[in-house]
Structure 1
Amino acid sequence: MEVINIHHPLDERQIPNEPVVLAMGFFDGVHRGHQAVINRAKAEARDRNVKLAVLTYDHHPALVYRPLEPDDRKYLSTTERKLRKLDRLGVDRVFLVNYTGEFSAQTPQEFVDNYLVKFHTVAAVAGFDHTYGKKDVATMDKLAGYAQGRFDVITVAEEAKNQEKISSTRIRQALKAGDVDLANQLLGYTYRSTGLVVHGEARGRTIGFPTANVLSPEDEWLPGIGIYTARLKVGAIWYPGMVSVGRNVTFGDNRPITVEMNLLDFQGNLYGEPVEVEWHHRLRGEIKFDGVEALVAQLKQDEVATRDYFKRVAAD
């Protein structure tokens, strides 16, 4: 897959002189709704015997319009992961635009003239709620007017789960609530985050449940506080286990949130390893126990539940 990094104003020398079907969107998470858009564009590109291209952005457009809020720094898929998913979906070319104030200042007509036409678009494909400027004037139902017959416009209908729209916002809300099962259903795949294994307090080792402490980047979403079944990828190998997102409240108040994963049947030194965490299922919330014995008893139950979960997954 070819990735073309673009900064406004467009340097037309960057753009190959060949027609494309263009899917448009920010595509954070590349969830099932996004996949429907890209697959519709892929089918159109195949029918027209042209390449499939995607227009997306290097950061969320909200950063240009208002002061930063904590959630603005977080993504369901970093740019690198988004590009990998687009590649797997069969995209031939990505126009990765640096979303700046100057870029956002274009009128819808200027955006179409300066970008969609110069990308050699023969058909533009996006979701029904996609906008490419101010929401009242840059809607999909008005795009054909701006196109002026130079390319076709294809609008993809809403994808829904339980009669609710599948959206990045809904997935983020599910993750905040710890509902990774719903998040994974909406994504269409098992959610992953990345991190680095670092030293913790080593308390888990003393109670028979050693953990890998995963320092996670600030720009990735993590599930809310709770205990989960998960897999940890080290190198090319995936290890099943149970992971805690929490404050270790049994050992004191006002502690920082940590991500600590106990791997099943694993022995080794993981310090310094870059890892991926694949979030499968929420077992329970965080509990403040009266002492270590009660905590260990619960961890043993969690281990049984985790082993049972992965046995069922392997059997499916």
Structure 2
Amino acid sequence: MQIIKLEEPFDQKKIPDSPIVLAMGFFDGVHRGHQAVIKRARLEAKKRGIKLAIMTLTPHPSVAFRHIPSSKVTYLTSLDHKLTLFEHLGADIGYVTVLNQYLIPMGPQEFVDKYMAALHAQVVVAGEDYTFGKQEIANMELLPKYARKRFEVIKITHLKENGQKISSTKIRSCLDEGKIEEANELLGYPFENDGIIVHGKQIGRKLGFPTINVEVTKGERIPAEGIYAVRVQLLSQEIMGMASIGRNETFGKNNKPTLEINLFDFSQNVYGQKVIVHWYQHLRDQEKYSDVPALVTQLGQDERDTRDYFKGK
């Protein structure tokens, strides 16, 4: 997939001179609703024998339009992960449009002219709630007017689960409540975080459950505190394990939250290595134990529960 960054003002020469079907959205999480938009666009591109392009934005529109500090915004998918998912869904071109000080005040007609028509879009596909600027003047109902018959507009209705719209907001809520299986159902794949293995306090090693400490990539959302069944991509392997997001309150107060993972049947020194953590099941909430033996007993049960969960999967 060709990745093209569009930062206003950009050079039109960056744009491939060939017709495309263009799927548009922010696509945080690239969940099943987003996938429906992209699959419809891919079908249209295949029917016409032209390339599929997908456009996303950076940073999150709430930073650009609602002035929320970027440090307060976390993402279901990093930009790199999002682009990888686009490629897996069949995109030929990934456009990354930067919401900078020149683009934010741009009117809807200029945006459509420059970021749809001038990209050689024959068809633009987006969800029914897609907006390109101020919602009341730049929505999917008005897009055909701004298109001026230069391209077709396809509006995709919301995909629903149990009568509720599948949305990034709902998935964030699930993660915040530790409902990882529900989040995965809405995503259509296991939620994941990536990061780097860093040095920790080596408490797990002393207990007989050595862990890797993962420093999650800045800006990525993580699940609620608790114990989870996970699979970890590390050194070209996928390793089963149990993850703990918590503060180790058994060993003191006011500790910062950490992500520690006990990898099963694995004992290599991997400090500094990159990892991808795939989250599968919430096993239990965090608890403060009265003594270390009680904690060790619970960790043994957590391991058995994790191994049982992954049997046959």
Give the TM-score normalised by the residue count of structure 1. Answer: 0.96
Spell out, residue by residue over 1:287-309, the C-alpha distance to the aligned partner (whole angstroms, 9 max, x if none): 11100011111111111101101
Contact 1:10–1:114 (Cα < 8 Å) also in 2 = no
Size of the alignment, in residue pairs? 312
Is residue 129 from structure 1 mapped to residue 146 from structure 2 by the alignment?
Answer: no
Q: Match for 1:245: what amino acid?
A: I
Q: Distance in 2 between matches of 1:101 and 1:61?
A: 12
Q: Distance in 2 between matches of 1:67 and 1:304?
A: 43
Tell me which residue corresponds to 2:203.
Answer: 203
Matches within 5 A, 1:129-208: 129-208=129-208
Tell me the secondary structure at the aligned position of residue 279 of structure 2: strand
Tell me which residue corresponds to 1:85.
Answer: 85
Q: Distance in 2 between matches of 1:7 and 1:262?
A: 43
Tell me the secondary structure at the aligned position of residue 141 of structure 1: coil
1:312 Cα deviation (Å)?
3.5
Tell me which residue corresponds to 1:94.
Answer: 94
Q: Distance in 2 between matches of 1:194 and 1:148?
A: 43
Query: Percent identity, aligned pairs only?
Result: 45
Contact 2:71–2:219 (Cα < 8 Å) also in 1 = no
Is residue 60 from structure 1 mapped to residue 56 from structure 2 by the alignment?
Answer: no
Tell me which residue corresponds to 1:119.
Answer: 119
Tell me the secondary structure at the aligned position of residue 206 of structure 1: helix
Spell out, residue by residue over 1:156-184, the C-alpha distance to the aligned partner (whole angstroms, 9 max, x if none): 01011111111111111111111111111
Tell me the secondary structure at the aligned position of residue 38 of structure 2: helix
Q: Distance in 2 between matches of 1:161 and 1:312?
A: 26
1:62 Cα deviation (Å)?
1.8
Contact 1:233–1:277 (Cα < 8 Å) also in 2 = yes
Spell out, residue by residue over 1:49-76, the C-alpha distance to the aligned partner (whole angstroms, 9 max, x if none): 111111211321222231406441x211
Tell me which residue corresponds to 2:284.
Answer: 284
Q: Distance in 2 between matches of 1:195 and 1:108?
A: 38
Q: Distance in 2 between matches of 1:281 and 1:188?
A: 15
The runs of at least 4 consecutive aligned structure 1 residues that moved more than 2 Å come to: none
1:233 Cα deviation (Å)?
1.4
1:218 Cα deviation (Å)?
2.3
Is residue 264 from structure 1 mapped to residue 257 from structure 2 by the alignment?
Answer: no
Q: Distance in 1 between matches of 2:20 and 2:218?
A: 36
Tell me the secondary structure at the aligned position of residue 265 of structure 2: coil
Q: Distance in 2 between matches of 1:231 and 1:196?
A: 15
1:10 Cα deviation (Å)?
3.4
Spell out, residue by residue over 1:229-252, the C-alpha distance to the aligned partner (whole angstroms, 9 max, x if none): 001111210110101000111112
Tell me the secondary structure at the aligned position of residue 239 of structure 1: strand
Is residue 274 from structure 1 mapped to residue 270 from structure 2 by the alignment?
Answer: no
Residue segments in structure 2 that go unaligned for 5+ positions in a row: none
Q: Distance in 2 between matches of 1:40 and 1:276?
A: 29
1:79 Cα deviation (Å)?
1.1
Q: Match for 2:131: what amino acid?
A: T
Spell out, residue by residue over 1:89-112, the C-alpha distance to the aligned partner (whole angstroms, 9 max, x if none): 000112211111211211111111
Q: Match for 1:176: what amino acid?
A: D
Q: Distance in 1 between matches of 2:78 and 2:68?
A: 21
* Cα RMSD, aligned residues only: 1.1
Q: Distance in 1 between matches of 2:197 and 2:160?
A: 37
Contact 1:230–1:278 (Cα < 8 Å) also in 2 = yes
Spell out, residue by residue over 1:170-199, the C-alpha distance to the aligned partner (whole angstroms, 9 max, x if none): 111111111111111111001111111111
Tell me which residue corresponds to 2:308.
Answer: 308
